[in-house]
Amino acid sequence: MSGGVAMAGLSGEQVREGLGRLDGWEWDPEAVLIHRTVRLPDFLAAVALVNEVAQAAEQADHHPDIDIRYNTVRLALSTHSEGAVTDKDMALAARVDELVAATAQTLE
Ligand SMILES: C[C@H](O)[C@H](O)[C@H]1CNC2=NC(N)=NC(=O)C2=N1
């Protein structure tokens, strides 16, 4: 094998195991992604969270699909180059969880 980090798609069991260590993420095996939805007090708070996620994404060179609807942010992670959910998705999801946990206020 040449240099670089192997980034194999995770098995269903591995994805489930990973989700057990995350907060609020769900797996969509048909869409080949994991997703989490966060509700915030208002639109600007939603945009602020997305800005923090954007910084983390740039650092990781891994980028979620992001949907903002007023105060609700849906994040989806998949490794497009692999056509699979990988450890890169799990790692960024864990980072997102930290950012959400550090957010002043989230709504149920
Ligand atoms: C060159 C660069 O590393 C790739 O294009 C990265 C960028 N961000 C990415 N993000 C996601 N979610 N999947 C990818 O396969 C991916 N590829």
**10-58 pLDDT per residue, tens:** 999 999 999 999 999 999 999 999 999 999 999 999 999 999 999 999 9
Q: How far is the CA of 36 from the centre of ligand 1 (A)?
A: 19
Which residues does ligand 1 sit against, CB inside 6 Å?
Answer: 61-63, 78-81
pLDDT at 106: 85
Q: Would you say residue 107 has pLDDT above 70?
A: yes
Q: Is residue 65 domain-resident?
A: yes
Q: Would you say residue 108 has pLDDT above 80?
A: no
Tokens 């969880």 — which residue? Answer: 97
Structure tokens at 106: 């989230």
Interface pTM, i.e. ipTM: 0.92
50: domain CATH number is 3.30.1360.20
Overall number of domains in the chain: 1
Q: Is residue 91 domain-resident?
A: yes
Range of the domain at 72: 28-101
Q: Is residue 69 domain-resident?
A: yes
Q: Is residue 9 domain-resident?
A: no
Q: What's the predicted TM-score (pTM) here?
A: 0.92
pLDDT at 3: 44
pLDDT at 81: 96
Q: Is residue 44 domain-resident?
A: yes
pLDDT at 5: 63
Q: How far from chain centre, in Å, is Cα 37? A: 10
